[in-house]
């Protein structure tokens, strides 16, 4: 479980950037987020984070730059018409 500062800003229902085309599985949030304090929704179903689960998180700029990237592992990459949303605590 992530520790969250009392003055942190929570973002709800953001549509992350990235093509929803059945092939792309990498999406980026509008702000850096606290790793472990994010929640992904795929067509209304909550996804499970972690290696071997539904998605992983990473830092697009490399270690220490802040988490902002979500990579779908399962289910298949979102297809046209699918809805993905992310709730997170801004870092």
How many whole angstroms separate alpha carbon 66 and alpha carbon 73? 21
Q: Residue 45: which residues within 8 A CB-CB, separation 6 or more?
A: none
Band of the pLDDT at 74, cuts 50, 70, 90?
confident
List, for residues 22-60, the tens digit of each pLDDT value.
999 999 999 999 999 999 999 999 999 999 999 999 999
d(CA 85, CA 14): 5
Report which DSSP code applies to 49: B
**Among 29, 47, 41, CA closest to 82:** 41
């Amino acid at each position: 479980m992530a520790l969250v500062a009392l003055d942190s800003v929570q973002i709800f229902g953001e549509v992350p950037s990235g093509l929803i085309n059945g092939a792309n599985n990498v999406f980026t949030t509008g702000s850096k987020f606290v790793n472990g304090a994010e929640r992904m929704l795929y067509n209304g179903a909550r996804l499970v984070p972690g290696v071997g689960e539904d998605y992983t998180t990473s830092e697009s700029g490399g270690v220490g730059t802040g988490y902002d990237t979500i990579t779908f592992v399962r289910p298949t990459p979102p297809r046209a018409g699918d809805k993905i949303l992310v709730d997170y605590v801004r870092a």
